[in-house]
Amino acid sequence: MALGAAWLGSAFPPNATRLVWWFIGLAVVQSCLPGIANQLTMARAHLALPALVYALSPDGFGGLAATVAIAGATDLLDGRIARRFEKPTQLGGGLDPVVDGVFFGATAFGLAAGGAYPWWLFGVVAARYGLPALVGGVLLLLRRPVQLRHTFFGQVSTALIGVLLGGVALWRGLGLESGRIVTAAEVVIPAATALTFANLLWVARRGDRGDSPRLDG
């Protein structure tokens, strides 16, 4: 809450009095979550709002690049902390991709709304995280055994999305032409998303044969 208030006081985003409720709501959720790793994961959810604000601002690309870099650091650290100091849980495995979807979805939406990326690419990013979350939710409702853990292609696609979304912000923040990065994103992000979906389909078929499906984290 203190960091959120400090950001609102220094960045002066539009409708700051309304935006404070985002940080308050997340703080309430965090108070119910056990473990340092889950708290660090939720830090990315806090960063989603600054990412959106910076992405919508013509002068905010430097701040957006820094925000994406910080979010990437939390993504690297939360899993390592969970594995080394805490026991990985289903809660943490499910929370991580949902928070990734919130953060990268907000970033991609802001870049698309600001004209830095095409709208269809935002749709790909939203589907990348929304579809696995939807499938996982349905399987849990059906009481199917599901392992909510990282998959290789899921980790690769998340890393690529972070690099390409943050890269265009960094390049624009430095006043450089970002057309090549956008072109690369238009090829790489859909390809990585397709591989993630193929991996998801494969683990779902394993589940049909009696194994527990492992959905992307």
Q: Does some domain include residue 65?
A: yes
Structural domain boundaries enclosing 94: 33-215
Question: Within a domain: residue 22?
Answer: no
| In a domain? residue 164 | yes
Residue 47 maps to which CATH number? 1.20.120.1760
Residue 87: both structure tokens together: 């026991």
> How many other C-beta atoms can be found within 10 angstroms of the C-beta atom of residue 143?
7
Helix (H) or strand (E) holding 147: strand 147-148
**CA distance linking residue 170 with residue 184, whole number of Å:** 15
pTM of the model: 0.85
Mean pLDDT of 156-180: 89
Look at residue 123 and tell me whether its pLDDT is greater than 80.
Answer: yes
For the chain, give the mean pLDDT: 82
Cβ(112)–Cβ(119) under 8 Å? yes
pLDDT tens digits, 171-214: 988 888 888 999 999 999 999 989 888 877 776 666 555 555 45
Count of domains in the chain? Answer: 1
